[in-house]
Amino acid sequence: MGALPGTQADTLTNIGGDNLAAINEADAAIEKINNVLPLMHELSTSDAELDEISALATQSFTDLIALGMNVEARYAGTFLTTASTMLGHSITAKQAKINKKLSLIDLQLKQRKLDMQADKDTPAGTTISGEAVVLDRNALLKMLTDVEETDSPE
């Protein structure tokens, strides 16, 4: 009575295999997105962390499925439920990675749209000129009080 009957073990392995196929498809989608994105240090660091979380969760899933198949049937449910949770964590990490990259692409597209709109609004060859003075707060207040004193009738 140490392991589940063969049909149940095959069914659980097939379910895990389908989910692992979904994870592999997510990896392929991430690679496609990586080819579109420019290299960014913060993004690659975060990607490495999410990949590590996903890999650990997938490895834990595999270990817990194997362990669940080698214990008594009454205890196997707890192991298999935990394995399912680990696989969920792996998928969630992959989804977070994809969502972050897609939002970055969306922001880049919006920036390009605004740049193109700004180029249309400003005619070519137009230069905006002006003067500027850098002041701190105290200097500005002193200038305002000096103007007030000269304008007040005494």
Q: Residue 4: pLDDT above 80?
A: no
* pLDDT of 12: 47
Weakest-pLDDT range from 10-19, 52-61, 97-106: 10-19
Q: Residue 126: pLDDT above 70?
A: no
Q: Residue 8: pLDDT above 80?
A: no
Q: Residue 10: pLDDT above 70?
A: no
Which residues lie closer than 8 Å to 135 by C-beta, 6 or more apart? 143
- Residues 141, 144, 150, 154: is their CA dihedral positive or negative? negative
DSSP state of 22: H
Confidence bin at 1 (pLDDT 50/70/90): very low
pLDDT tens-digit readout, 31-87? 776 666 655 555 666 778 888 888 888 898 999 999 989 989 888 889 889 988 988
Which residues lie closer than 8 Å to 125 by C-beta, 6 or more apart? none
* pLDDT of 18: 67
Q: How far apart are CA 54 and CA 58, in angstroms?
A: 6
- Residues 50, 52, 57, 61: is their CA dihedral positive or negative? positive
Copy the structure tokens of residue 64: 């817990």
Give the domain ranges of the chain.
6-121
Confidence bin at 7 (pLDDT 50/70/90): low
